[in-house]
């Protein structure tokens, strides 16, 4: 029985992982379609589309899915998505930014507000927490690409603002408007990155213990589970010990 129970658990976990992967692919495809529709369907002529395709490839989205998403933007029957940002507070006063892409503003607002309320948070007005974040470009390389000094020199030459290096990765930061140029310059020196995207970088953070992290993760997972939500960012920090327990 124990073996059967373990196998069932493994199957269940794999099913959840597959579902999460499918949902991620769907969200990335939506971003590609919107980026292509707003600009040129050629990634070389459309910086936003280029970054969207690059992010999709980084998590192994199949080429045919990417091509289909671009072609969808050319059709007159493709949905008209509206980009909306929601801001609010989670458990322990953690600031949260939710980026959504929706064809029904009322539906999305209702779901986001309800999700905050059900999970110990509250939705605020636009601007209520974004002042605690900076909009930045982020390029991540594995530590194996080179030592900290090598990556720092490459980043400086590429026009980046900052580099954070550890045993696992090099995180390179730049102005949001410079991301396309910086990432292109870095590719010439360091090769393909692991991820290249626009993010909200916290300028101030809230320290959380295990219980606080568990509550926050429940809220963030619930928000991210909504098909209309593209990204969820929070300004928390916690210890390595707490992360290990999670």
pLDDT range class, residue 55, cuts 50, 70, 90: confident
CA distance 24 to 200: 19
User: Are the C-beta atoms of 90 and 96 separated by less than 8 Å?
Assistant: yes
Where in the chain are the domains? Answer: 2-74, 81-246
The pLDDT value recorded for residue 13 is 58
CA distance 225 to 234: 16
The pLDDT value recorded for residue 8 is 52
The string of pLDDT tens digits covering residues 70-117 is 988 887 656 788 899 999 999 999 999 999 999 899 999 999 999 999
Output b/e per residue, 152-191; b: 16+ Cβ within 10 A. Answer: bebbeebebeebebeeebbbbbbeeebbbebbebbeeebe
pTM of the model: 0.81
The string of pLDDT tens digits covering residues 2-21 is 444 455 555 555 556 666 77
Rg (CA), the chain: 19
Q: Which of 18, 69, 21 is nearest to 41 (CA)?
A: 69
**Residue 49 has which token pair?**
């589309």
Q: Is the pLDDT of residue 231 over 70?
A: yes
The pLDDT value recorded for residue 2 is 40
The string of pLDDT tens digits covering residues 112-156 is 999 999 999 999 999 999 999 999 999 999 999 999 999 999 999
Asked if CATH classification 3.40.50.2300 holds for the domain at 81-246, the reply, yes or no, is no
CA distance 138 to 172: 6
The pLDDT value recorded for residue 4 is 45
CATH level 2 (architecture), domain 2-74:
Orthogonal Bundle (1.10)
């Amino acid at each position: 029985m124990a073996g059967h129970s373990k196998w069932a658990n493994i199957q269940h976990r794999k099913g959840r992982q597959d579902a999460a992967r499918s949902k991620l692919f769907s969200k990335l495809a939506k971003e590609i379609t919107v980026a292509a529709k707003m600009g040129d369907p050629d990634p070389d002529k459309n910086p936003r589309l280029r970054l969207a395709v690059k992010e999709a490839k980084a998590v192994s989205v199949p080429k045919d899915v990417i091509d289909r998403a671009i072609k969808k933007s050319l059709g007159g029957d493709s949905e008209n998505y509206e980009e909306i940002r929601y801001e609010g507070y989670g458990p322990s006063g953690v600031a949260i930014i939710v980026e959504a892409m929706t064809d029904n503003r009322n539906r999305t607002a209702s779901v986001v507000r309800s999700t905050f309320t059900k999970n110990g948070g509250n939705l605020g007005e636009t601007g209520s927490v974004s002042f605690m974040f900076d909009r930045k470009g982020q390029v991540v390389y594995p530590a194996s690409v080179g030592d900290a000094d090598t990556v720092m020199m490459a980043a400086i030459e590429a026009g980046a603002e900052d580099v954070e290096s550890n045993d696992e990765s090099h995180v390179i930061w730049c102005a949001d408007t410079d991301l396309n140029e910086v990432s292109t310059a870095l590719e010439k020196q360091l090769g393909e990155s692991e991820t290249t995207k626009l993010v909200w970088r916290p300028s101030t953070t809230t320290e959380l213990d295990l219980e606080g992290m568990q509550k926050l993760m429940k809220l963030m997972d619930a928000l991210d589970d909504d098909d209309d939500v593209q990204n969820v960012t929070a300004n928390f920090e916690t210890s390595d010990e707490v992360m290990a327990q999670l």
